[in-house]
Amino acid sequence: MTEARLTGPVRVVGVGLLGASIGLGLRAKGVEVILADASPTHLAIAADYGAGRPAAPGDAPQLVVVCVPPDVTADVVASELAAYPTAIVTDVASVKLAIHDDLVARGADVSRYLGTHPMAGREVGGPMSGRADLFLGRPWVVAGHDGISYRDASVVDDLILDLGATLVELTPEQHDRAVALVSHVPQVVSTLMARRLIDAPHASVNLAGQGLRDVTRVAASDPELWVQILGQNAAPVIEILRGYRDDLDRFIEALGDLEAPGARRRIAEELFGGNTGVERLPGKHGVDRRYASLIVLVDDRPGQLARLFHDVGDAGVNLEDLRLEHSPGAQVGLAEIFVLPEVQERLTDELAARGWRIAG
Amino acid sequence: MTEARLTGPVRVVGVGLLGASIGLGLRAKGVEVILADASPTHLAIAADYGAGRPAAPGDAPQLVVVCVPPDVTADVVASELAAYPTAIVTDVASVKLAIHDDLVARGADVSRYLGTHPMAGREVGGPMSGRADLFLGRPWVVAGHDGISYRDASVVDDLILDLGATLVELTPEQHDRAVALVSHVPQVVSTLMARRLIDAPHASVNLAGQGLRDVTRVAASDPELWVQILGQNAAPVIEILRGYRDDLDRFIEALGDLEAPGARRRIAEELFGGNTGVERLPGKHGVDRRYASLIVLVDDRPGQLARLFHDVGDAGVNLEDLRLEHSPGAQVGLAEIFVLPEVQERLTDELAARGWRIAG
């Protein structure tokens, strides 16, 4: 373990998933962590869990990290700035400009405020969901502004680096436009697709495959949190949604009059454009075409995937990605394994030789 | 191996992924398979691969299965009906009503035609991608119509059951509306989202997480095939897209005037509706909330996932689902494991005891 860059105590306000994870991560580096939460129960759990000690009179934090819901973040940041007049205050809310503007409008001392946004999360919440390693290797955006000095900002960088995250510097405007595109608009697009399923016949939804499941997965997210996020980032989200809506109108128009000159070409161009867009995504999922896949039938009981991956490892093959699927009515699951194309044939042979049924 | 229900020879026209898989699957059951393809090379590969023998003069197939692209399916079905006047002819195209209507308009003998659609596929194509088990446990729709007798239709049921698929009976109209909803509209929604990424700043797309990757995954599909599919199922697709567009307009309007009475409630209702829609999906992916998850850090080298799943199996825990992720710049991957909530804590402890780093 490398030594912590942070030296003074860190006060964490709000001990849900993010706050508890920050506390646990900093405690693991030996940093003193002071916890506060509106819920005494959550506070006690987080302290028992090892995320830090409850706040006490006379605390003198070097840094305050506000980890409360987006709609109360500016309130809490402002009161923390007032309560600890020598501390730097940061927050982790998923929208940045509205909070900064709100603080400026209140006359808060933003020379000691620097907003951030860790691109990490889980579908569960609460202090018990916290993990010391939650941020390891994840991007963590610092939404810089001219009102804070380089020197004062460095303690926020220290926080991020101590937690093992990758620091990404953007302005609040750049951040909000970026998350509108990569997170908020996809949420809306997915939600509206899922809504189409509500009144669909049972026989129709039963034909759903992996494609629909993927498109609608994030539509299962917490509506109350998302009302706040979308409400605080309305302008960039609306701008992108309007572009999406215009594309959709053109698509519907072309599909509605296929015999019009150029209609099929326009549809093909939209579809090719989708290919181009996906290729811009970082990481393995955006570049599926680099990998070959094989589908292996797996009985739905403990130890079967262990045996499969043991056999894949024995073959000296690295799994690039994996997708599990269960068809309605089937006794077996399908594990789709993505590997480098040059090893696909050998792996297929090796798995077949070990008795695996290769389904595709 | 159970005995085949099919008795006579089956002629497969078009030996791409689906045709080759049907040939391989039927040959594995001992059924005689006759292959035909416009490409002599593809035909030779499929025959060498064991999918059947090339067609010859005097062939008398009991059943003809047409596996060619959607835009030429009706043509080929009509010529097969004429060439084999005692055979039943089926096809596997992903749109059903347009093909049936086209055949009726041509005066083809639809008393011997019954369209089907296996809900199976891979991202790759060609005869070498064929797999005997491709259809095992997958839904396979039979698009019934009143022009064919119950007795004649049974040979198509035999084909589906011999290949291990699950037979689903729908009218052509029901089928086309169902796939418009669960496949064609999600394709458009995903494509239009991916298009928004084309001109986005590098810094923005680099913040993309699993949500955006999931929403846009099918946007990487083959544009040429999709122009045909969408073109043949335009009416149901347009109807659903218009509903989607109207929802989107209302969403944009509510988001654009958040202080209007009821605006936030309308947004919350849309988001709750997305939750409700996702819950209607069959299979494990649509009901993520039934499972607890933990995220394990995995070094990006062969054998590591094998070791992880060995340890999960050793703990007696069944993996319900799995998601792999690599953050940009990170040396490690993240494996998110979904398990029944009651075993989550024990599995976390067991994995930690075996030296795994649990990241969330």
Q: Per-residue pLDDT averaged across A88-116, rounded?
A: 96
A1 touches A29 (CB < 8 A): yes
Would the CB atoms of B191 and A285 count as touching at under 8 Å? Answer: no
Position B360 scores a pLDDT of 63
Stretch among A19-33, B76-90, B288-302 having the lowest mean pLDDT: B288-302
Residues of chain A in contact with residue B238, where contact means CB-CB under 8 angstroms, are 252, 255-256
Contact criterion met (CB < 8 Å) for A313 and B303: yes
Contact residues, chain B, for A141 at CB < 8 Å: 207
Tokens linked to B52: 């059947």
> Would you place residue A300 in the very low, low, confident or very high pLDDT band (cuts 50, 70, 90)?
low
CB-based contact B230 A141, cutoff 8 Å: no
Q: What is the pLDDT of residue B123?
A: 53
Contact flag B214-A211 (C-beta cutoff 8 Å): no
Mean pLDDT of B32-49: 93
| Nearest CA-CA distance, residue A85 and chain B, Å | 33
Q: Which residue in chain B is spatially nearest to A173 when comparing CA positions?
A: B204
| Alpha carbons A360 and B17: distance in angstroms, whole number | 9
Distance CA A127, CA A196 (A): 35
Least confident of A5-14, A122-131, A166-175, A209-218: A122-131
Kindly identify which residue of chain A lies nearest to residue B304, measuring between CA atoms.
A313
Report the alpha-carbon distance of residue B268 to residue B270 in Å, rounded: 5
Residue A66: closest CA among A36, A91, A93? A91
- Find the largest Cα–Cα distance for chain A: 77
- Report the gap between the CA of A61 and the closest CA in chain B (Å): 26
* pLDDT at B301 exceeding the cut of 70: no
Q: What is the mean pLDDT of chain A?
A: 89
Contacts of B243 (CB under 8 A, 6+ apart): A196
Distance CA A218, CA A222 (A): 9
Distances (CA, A) of A297 to A13, A305, B133: 48, 10, 9
Q: What is the mean pLDDT of residues B46-58?
A: 93
Q: Judge whether A191 and B215 are in contact, CB under 8 Å.
A: no
Interface test with chain A among B193, B233, B354, by most A beta carbons within 10 Å? B193
How far apart (Å, rounded) are the C-alpha atoms in residues B227 and A48? 59
Exposure string (b/e) for A253-289, b if CB count within 10 Å is 16 or more?
Answer: ebbeeeeeeebbebbbebbbbbbebbbbbbbbbbbbe
Whether the predicted pLDDT of A260 surpasses 60: yes
Angle at alpha carbon of residue A84, lines to A81 and A88, rounded to 5°: 65
Percent share of chain B, pLDDT over 70: 92
What are B305's two structure tokens?
């996932």
- A184 to chain B nearest CA, in Å? 9
Q: Tell if the CB–CB gap between B204 and A215 is shorter than 8 Å.
A: no
Q: Per the CATH hierarchy, to which homologous superfamily does domain A286-353 belong?
A: ACT domain (3.30.70.260)
Cα–Cα distance for residue pair B65/B20, rounded to 1 Å: 11
Residue B289 has pLDDT above 70, yes or no: no
- Facing residue for B196 by CB, picked from A251, A277, A328: A277
The minimum CA-CA distance between B158 and chain A, rounded to whole Å, is 18
A205-209, A239-243, A260-264, range with greatest mean pLDDT = A239-243
Give yes or no for a contact between A55 and A34, defined as CB atoms under 8 angstroms apart. Answer: yes
Q: Determine the Cα–Cα distance for residues A43 and A14; give it in Å rounded to an integer.
A: 8
Whether the pLDDT of residue B270 is over 50: the answer is yes
pLDDT of A302 reads 64
pLDDT at A203 over 70: yes
CATH architecture of B286-358: 2-Layer Sandwich (3.30)
Say whether pLDDT at B13 is over 90. Answer: yes
- Extended beta strands in chain B, E state: 10-13, 33-36, 53-54, 63-66, 88-91, 115-118, 139-143, 166-170, 292-299, 321-326, 332-339, 357-358
From B307's Cα to the closest Cα of chain A, the distance in A is: 7
Contacts of B274 in chain A (CB under 8 A): 190-192, 194-195, 216, 219-221, 223
pLDDT higher than threshold 80 for residue A73: yes
In chain B, the residue whose alpha carbon lies closest to the alpha carbon of A305 is B309
Chain B residues within an 8 Å CB radius of A330? 136-138, 166
**pLDDT value at position B288?**
45
Q: Determine how β-strand A332-339 pairs with β-strand A321-326.
A: antiparallel
Instruction: Give me the amino acid identity at B245.
Output: R
Which positions in chain B touch A231 (Cβ < 8 Å)?
Answer: 255, 258, 264, 267
Per residue in B58-117, pLDDT (tens digit) is 999 999 999 999 999 999 999 999 999 999 999 999 999 999 999 999 999 999 999 999
Residues of B in contact with A358 (CB under 8 A): 131, 133
Query: Which H or E element spans position B308?
Result: helix B304-314
pLDDT-above-90 percentage for chain A: 68
Q: Which residues contact B124 (CB under 8 A, 6 or more apart)?
A: A292, A293, B17
Of A224, A234, A330, the CB nearest to B256: A234
Beta bridge partners of A12: A35, A65
Residue A284 has pLDDT above 50, yes or no: no
Q: What is the pLDDT of residue A285?
A: 41
Residue of B244, B278, B23, B220 lying closest to B130 (CA atoms): B23
Residue by residue, DSSP assigns B138-172 as -EEEEE--TTS-HHHHHHHHHHHHHTTPEEEEE-H
Question: Tokens 């599926």 — which residue?
Answer: A288
One fold for A10-170 and A177-279: no
| Contact criterion met (CB < 8 Å) for A306 and B314 | yes
- The pLDDT of residue B318: 80
pLDDT at A63: 98
ipTM of the complex: 0.77
- Name the residue facing B234 among A211, A258, A327 (closest C-beta): A258
Rg from Cα positions in chain A: 24
Contact list, A1 vs chain B (CB under 8 Å)? none
- What span, in angstroms and rounded, lies between the C-alpha atoms of B175 and B93? 11
Query: Which residues in chain B touch residue A21, judged by CB atoms under 8 angstroms apart?
Result: 360
Is residue A107 scored above 90 in pLDDT? yes
Q: How far is A293 from chain B (nearest CA, A)?
A: 8
- d(Cα A270, Cα B73) in Å, to the nearest integer? 24
Q: Is A272 in Cβ contact with B223 (below 8 Å)? A: yes
Q: What is the mean pLDDT of residues B12-22?
A: 95
Which of A277, A321, A325 lies nearest to residue B324, judging by beta carbons?
A321
The distance of A257 to chain B (nearest Cα, Å) reads: 9
Distance from CA of A57 to the nearest CA of B (A): 32
Q: What is the pLDDT of residues B105-164, one digit of tens each?
A: 999 999 999 999 999 876 566 777 788 888 988 899 999 999 999 899 999 999 999 999
Residues of A in contact with B98 (CB under 8 A): none
pLDDT recorded at residue A10? 98
CATH of domain A10-170: 3.40.50.720
Contact between A188 and A161 (Cβ < 8 Å): no
C-beta atoms of B285 and A325 within 8 A: yes
**What b/e string do you get for A170-198 counting C-beta neighbours within 10 Å, with b at 16 or more?**
bbbebbbbbbbbbbbbbbbbbbbbbbbbe
**Within 13 A of B175's CA, how many CA atoms are on the CB side?**
28
Quote the pLDDT of residue B193.
Answer: 98
Which residue is it, tokens 């936030």? B264
Q: List chain A domain ranges.
A: 10-170, 177-279, 286-353
3-state DSSP of A217-240: HHHHCCHHHHHHHHHHCHHHHHHH
With CB atoms and an 8 Å threshold, state whether B359 touches A183. no
Place of tokens 């197939």: B61
pLDDT of residue B1: 59
Contact A326 B194 (CB under 8 A): no
Sequence-distant (6+) residues with CB within 8 A of B202 are none
Asked whether the beta carbons of B55 and B36 are under 8 A apart, the reply is yes
Cross-chain residue pair A360–B327, CB shorter than 8 Å: no
Binned at pLDDT 50, 70 and 90, residue A337 comes out as confident
Q: What is the mean pLDDT of residues A23-50?
A: 93
* A123: pLDDT strictly greater than 70: no
Angle at B283 between CA B90 and CA A194, to 5 degrees: 90
Confidence of residue A8 (pLDDT cuts 50, 70, 90): confident
Q: To which CATH superfamily is domain A177-279 assigned?
A: 6-phosphogluconate dehydrogenase C-terminal like domain (1.10.3660.10)
Within 13 A of A208's CA, how many CA atoms are on the CB side? 31
List Cα–Cα distances, B96 to B53, B116, B332, in angstroms: 28, 7, 46
A356 DSSP 8-state letter: P
